[in-house]
Amino acid sequence: MRYQIRHAAGLYWLLDMYQEGVPYKAPLAMNEMGASIWEMMAGGMGTDEIIDTLAARYQENRETIAHDVEQFRSRLEAYGIAVT
């Protein structure tokens, strides 16, 4: 698996395990919600399923969670991670 999540210093870090170091790509810091979204995406869950799961887990409405998921996906894309 190219990307792996690690927890350290109160944050979750997404590490690129295949980078060669030049240029160095720093780990992407994220909160617990971001780590949950990443794990579900990496596990093959679709966007609607992720939104439903998180809405139930955090007892939040779908629109708020959908916005959070979209922001996270945009952040991944800006970091250079292709999101399907």
Domains of the chain: 3-79 (1.10.10)
Distance CA 83, CA 47 (A): 11
- When pLDDT is cut at 50, 70 and 90, the band that residue 84 belongs to is low
Length of the chain: 84
- pLDDT of res. 23: 83
- Render pLDDT for 7-61 as a digit per residue (tens, 0 to 9): 999 999 999 999 887 888 889 999 999 999 999 999 999 999 999 999 999 999 9
Reported as half-sphere exposure (CB side, CA atoms, 13 A), residue 49 has a value of 9
**Lowest-confidence pick of 22-26, 58-62, 69-73, 76-80:** 22-26
pTM for this structure?
0.88
Evaluate the omega torsion of the peptide bond into residue 23 and state whether it is cis, within 30 degrees of 0: yes
* Reduced DSSP (H G I as helix, E B as strand, rest coil) percent helix, strand, coil of the chain, to 5: 50, 20, 35
